[in-house]
Amino acid sequence: MTILFSALDWRAMSREDRDRGLNNGVAVAGSVELVAGWEQRSADLRARFPARLDLRYGPRERNRIDFLKAADEAPTLLFIHGGYWQARAKEVFTVVAEGPMAHAINVALIGYTLAPDATLDEIVAEIHAGIDFLAGQLPALGAAPGGIVVSGWSAGGHLTAMALSHPKVRAGMAISGIYDLEPIRHSYLNEKLRADEATSRRNSPMMQEGGPSKPLSLVVGSAELPLLRKQTADFAGHRARYGLPVTYEEIPGADHFTILHEMMSPKGRITTLIRQLFERT
């Protein structure tokens, strides 16, 4: 039976049900093996583009950006990895560059300090610092000036929404993101995040009055956990209520992991949406 988003209330759930409703690793059988495959493909791609890896944008160990150049004077996409702000690394996700690069779009991947070594406020600040650095380096990297399109998956989708306010960001492509952090704060995920209510509200795009008036594409898989599908649908509605440019799509049959195949493929739906963002901005 289909659950209506309007009837789905995380506050009415038990802690156990809420934890299960946010746990993608448990929900998707074979996700560990799938991610291991991405990591191998990413290592192969990094070996093909070794010239501009681990560009340092800040003082902490993970404050590094990989830049994969598709063509001279090409526009640039910045990808932010997921892992609920406390796991994974940019090196796992280099493979997502394959789709955009096939269309002469440079792809940069940003690392950031993970919780509990960084708070949500600090993580958001690191992403903004990385964008400062990357935008300033575009001429030296042989890339087109004129701003960056930002994309991210899962926690990276949240950080994409938080990055829209940066003056050098022209548009966003958020994949299976989190836009209201209150359910996270009341789940097992907060053991490392250690967010209080004020932190949650500051960093929840859904809790802001309005938002940046820049195009934002939101996608989520139709086979994802209902709480996550609701996050994306609710945020699309929030943007629409304030008259902010937004598109919303569910990728048929995609779960929280396989949805990224739509970015890895040159013909994937997410790759197409990214191309459209560059064309529109």
DSSP letters of 150-217?
EEEETHHHHHHHHHTTSTTEEEEEEES-----HHHHTSTTHHHH---HHHHHHT-GGGSSS---S-EE
Return d(Cα 24, Cα 128) in angstroms, integer. 27
**Domain 5-280 top-level CATH class:** alpha beta
181-190 core/surface letters (b: 16 or more CB in 10 A; e: else): bbbbbbbebb
| pLDDT tens digits along 186-195 | 999 999 999 9
Token look-up 């739906």 returns 269
pTM, full prediction? 0.96
Identity at 12, one-letter amino acid code: A
Burial of 209 (0-12, 13-18, 19+ CB in 10 A): exposed
Query: N- to C-terminal Cα distance for the chain?
Result: 41
Query: How does the average pLDDT of the chain come out, rounded?
Result: 96
Radius of gyration of the chain (CA): 17
Are 231 and 161 in contact by the 8 Å Cβ rule? The answer is: no
List the domain boundaries for the chain. 5-280
> What are the tens digits of pLDDT across the range 67-122?
999 999 999 999 999 999 999 999 999 999 999 999 999 999 999 999 999 999 99
Q: What is the pLDDT of residues 161-196, one digit of tens each?
A: 999 999 999 999 999 999 999 999 999 999 999 999
